[in-house]
Structure 1
């Protein structure tokens, strides 16, 4: 009798299954606090400016990316994951207790947002670094893809849950539930069975200097980094600062639900952008991609000047697709052009430069809120992007045509 051999796959590896389960709870819990904290600030103060300040504080840890590589290489990855989620569970329970007793202030929320973001920033690369230790090499692509997809889905679900629950239960109870989710994630991580020794101390400073010299000497890389920085400068603050304000001004009593939907639509768009690349809808002309897509981003932002009766969600979805597509295409470009032996140090430097645009974005939108209404910010920023990058795209086309004519002449 012939026995059918069971197919070996990544998700049938017990340790990987535990990591995947931990990721699901962790990303959903991240989605909850990303929605809840700015809305809590609005609820406590009614200040749009303070929402921007909290968003800026929350995004600052993203600029520490260049230091995470050496740290993660020198410590046990499982320990980093466990400590991050245990720490986030403690912070959420603390917020729950303070909220229930009416003791929360904006600055306590700011400190907690900074710590939550810092731990999230450490959790993600440590998780990716742990995957090759848990699954066979032949299943590495499948395992990494499944983790990334579940992370995006978890964020979407968490944000939707957060928006609904904010309208139904007190913030304190919401934070307690979220802290429990982080604790459950930490328990899954604790049960991962792996023999992992601490890595050697990394020469991070020397590696970064080498990466900087290589990056500076390549004009194509610098151009890609510059555009990538602009994308983050435009979008990060738009989502974290202008998103909740748009929800409050357009949807009033149901603002928490609508903000969660808009944020989730943006994440859903990012998932679609990833799938576009997965199905080979990619580009070989990155220099054309940036001006055209940033022109489209500007046009979409200009539409938000008008009250669209819920169609704002569709704009957030399309923006998510565009931004995700740009992100993935840029990473693929560097993967194909940077020498393998230098990829870690150069990408850590690129990541840090690009991520600096995110807190700057939150600060810029906050300053704009001081001098003009939100609707006019959408119009002004959108018009600036549209004109700037449409003109640049046209100039590129004229230069290509001139180059073709010159080649034909010779």
Structure 2
């Protein structure tokens, strides 16, 4: 826990607070203004689709000073929310502007995530990577729980305008914190002649393609993310109030928090069974939450959170495996390709969930996620590609 890691962790914690507030505020504003499941789906789609653009950031992360990229991400978000807050004050804030602003802000946020992940391995020993990754996730999700739990209440009390204003102030603060407190030596200088953007971009895809059995694992997670997103797309529709939607998000954060805590004690050599048991347990817990869906909201959230505990633990193991197998000089390019592949279909899942909600029962859409988890668990158990990935990883360790 050196100074830079502490600063980076603090920035990510505060940024996660701000992300949760503006996402919930934007979705609920669109819901209040349109009362349309379709437009709710469009809004969540717009919030998720920037993940696919991460792949375009990879060469920039590897070639340019990461501190400057983090400063750029914070500055763009501060400007966006200053504009949205101003338009709200003069009563000129439309649904279209909210959706565009949400897209631009999330696009900037998606630059900061892979930049931070690419920085971490240069700031700590390889032996500490899993603990640091788990600590990052554990810490910011622990505060994210509080944020999501109270976000709905605060939104009802202070309104969308003050949420956007507070976000602008927070991102200005983060800009200053990164500028003055993050001390890293990045001496590489790049000129147009030695920076071949498209060649670097293609290299990231070629690197992932050569991962063999690990590439198959990435594709499986891509499909899993898409199916789970269909179920998550109906959460704003299932929620009757802002407070309920905030509690749904808090349940996801609590589960992810507990899962990241458990991953600290889980050895990566049990990776195969971690994936098998996590998807199986998560699917069962999610199905049980569906049973309580219209009976007891509290039991629904508890079981839903338990499902995300398993998903969160699996995510930490997968992230650590990525960082250890990819060569440090190529982390930016390759991580952004992997994250883009994982998240590229997720926005369409959210959009599909919202669009289908007008014709398909909400309960059936809610069950798409757990059924997919159970099927994936069976797939992990019966196929050998995960064993091959574990064998490769054991050699690297």
TM bucket (normalised to shorter chain) is 0.7 to 0.9
Q: Residue 312 of structure 1 is aligned with which of 300, 317, 327? A: 300
Matched, 1:385 2:372: yes
**Distance (Å, rounded) in 2 between the aligned partners of 1:189 and 1:393:** 41
- How far 1:344 sits from its partner (Å)? 5.5
Q: After TM superposition, list the pairs within 5 Å mapping 1:11-410 onto structure 2.
A: 13=3, 17-131=6-120, 141=129, 146-192=135-181, 194=183, 196-197=186-187, 199-200=189-190, 202-203=195-196, 205-210=198-203, 212-213=205-206, 215-216=208-209, 220-239=213-232, 241-248=233-240, 255-280=241-266, 283-285=270-272, 288-289=276-277, 292-293=280-281, 295-296=283-284, 299-300=287-288, 302-303=290-291, 305-334=293-322, 345-379=333-367, 381=368, 384-385=371-372, 388=375
Q: What is the total number of aligned residue pairs between the two structures?
A: 378
Q: Deviations over 1:161-218 (max 9, x none)?
A: 3222112122112221222122222221221264544554554544554554554466
Structure ID, larger Rg: 1
State the TM-score, normalized to the length of structure 1: 0.79
- How far 1:63 sits from its partner (Å)? 0.5
- How far 1:395 sits from its partner (Å)? 6.3
Q: 1:354 to 1:389 in 2, by over 3 A?
A: closer
- How far 1:238 sits from its partner (Å)? 3.0
Q: 1:243 to 1:222 in 2, by over 3 A?
A: same
**Distance (Å, rounded) in 2 between the aligned partners of 1:52 and 1:339:** 38
Q: 1:377 to 1:22 in 2, by over 3 A?
A: closer
Query: Does the aligned pair in 1 maintain the 2:58–2:335 contact within 8 Å?
Result: no
**Distance (Å, rounded) in 1 between the aligned partners of 2:165 and 2:331:** 41
Q: 1:184 to 1:140 in 2, by over 3 A?
A: farther
Higher relative contact order (CA 8 A, sep 6+): 2
Gaps of 5+ in 1: 1-8, 249-254, 398-410
**Distance (Å, rounded) in 2 between the aligned partners of 1:281 and 1:344:** 25
Q: Deviations over 1:291-330 (max 9, x none)?
A: 6356436624643653323222213311321221222233
State the SS of the aligned residue for 1:168.
helix
Q: 1:355 to 1:176 in 2, by over 3 A?
A: same
**Distance (Å, rounded) in 2 between the aligned partners of 1:394 and 1:80:** 41
**Distance (Å, rounded) in 1 between the aligned partners of 2:157 and 2:200:** 51
Bigger mean CA offset, 107-116 vs 150-159: 150-159
Q: 1:231 to 1:304 in 2, by over 3 A?
A: farther
State the TM-score, normalized to the length of structure 2: 0.81
Bigger mean CA offset, 64-73 vs 279-288: 279-288
Q: 1:225 to 1:300 in 2, by over 3 A?
A: farther
**Distance (Å, rounded) in 1 between the aligned partners of 2:140 and 2:79:** 22
**Distance (Å, rounded) in 2 between the aligned partners of 1:324 and 1:363:** 23
Query: Does the aligned pair in 2 maintain the 1:237–1:361 contact within 8 Å?
Result: yes
- How far 1:104 sits from its partner (Å)? 1.7
Q: Deviations over 1:110-167 (max 9, x none)?
A: 101111111110112223444567x575997576654443332343333233222112
Q: 1:16 to 1:346 in 2, by over 3 A?
A: closer
**CA-based RMSD:** 3.4
State the SS of the aligned residue for 2:297.
coil
